[in-house]
């Protein structure tokens, strides 16, 4: 009989501890969810501005045959496009991102081949596809073009 009473008391204590533990865990989960809501997440425009900078730098790297820099810049664009797909799933524009894959692959290939003439053609293809995407997503007012001036005066694009 004493063993049954001791077992019942132990079971009651164990259940009480479990309920206290569940309450503490729920409090921690609620706190973490609140922190997540306050975490900064770049918006679609910030990602696109980043791509625009890398697009411009890519052009000057390629026409100056700075293939390592061109490769770096195209990979930065790829990374940003991946980030859009990870962080902007709620935006309908994200569904159109896939149309850029073929031009990205094309320009990546020309960079590996170190072919300036093909690079220029691939860059035009990339730029036109950006504009096609902007039109498809009703952002036609944001028209991208081949850069005319170096984006940063503190970066050398020509190899010496």
Q: Which of 1.20.120.290, 3.40.640.10, 3.90.1300.10, 1.20.1440.130 is the CATH number of 44-136?
A: 1.20.120.290
Q: Is the pLDDT of residue 7 over 80?
A: no
Q: Which residue has the higher pLDDT, 40 or 144?
A: 144
User: Domain-by-domain residue ranges, the chain?
Assistant: 1-39, 44-136
pLDDT digits (tens, 9 = 90+) for 25-64: 777 777 777 777 777 788 899 999 999 999 999 999 999 9
What tokens appear for 44 in the block? 């679609």
95 CB-near residues (< 8 Å, 6+ apart): none
Nearest to 64 by CA among 128, 152, 150: 150
Cβ–Cβ under 8 Å, residues 159 and 66? yes
What is the reported pTM? Answer: 0.78
pLDDT at 67 over 70: yes
Q: Is the pLDDT reported for residue 15 higher than 70?
A: no
Q: What would the pLDDT profile of 85-141 be if each residue is shown by its tens digit?
A: 999 999 999 999 999 999 999 999 999 999 999 999 999 999 999 999 999 999 999
Burial class (CB in 10 A: 0-12, 13-18, 19+), 142: middle
């Amino acid at each position: 009989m004493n063993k049954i009473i001791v077992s019942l008391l132990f079971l009651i204590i164990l259940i009480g501890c479990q309920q206290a533990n569940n309450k503490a865990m729920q409090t921690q989960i609620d706190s973490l969810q609140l922190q997540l809501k306050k975490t900064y997440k770049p918006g679609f425009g910030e990602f696109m501005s980043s791509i625009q900078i890398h697009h411009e730098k890519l052009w000057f790297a390629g026409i100056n045959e700075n293939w390592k820099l061109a490769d770096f810049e195209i990979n930065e664009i790829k990374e940003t496009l991946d980030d859009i797909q990870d962080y902007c799933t709620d935006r309908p524009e994200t569904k159109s991102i896939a149309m850029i894959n073929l031009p990205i692959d094309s320009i990546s290939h020309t960079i590996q081949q170190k072919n300036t003439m093909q690079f220029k053609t691939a860059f035009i293809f990339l730029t036109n596809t950006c504009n096609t995407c902007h039109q498809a997503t009703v952002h036609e007012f944001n028209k991208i073009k081949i850069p005319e001036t170096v984006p940063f005066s503190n970066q050398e694009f020509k190899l010496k």
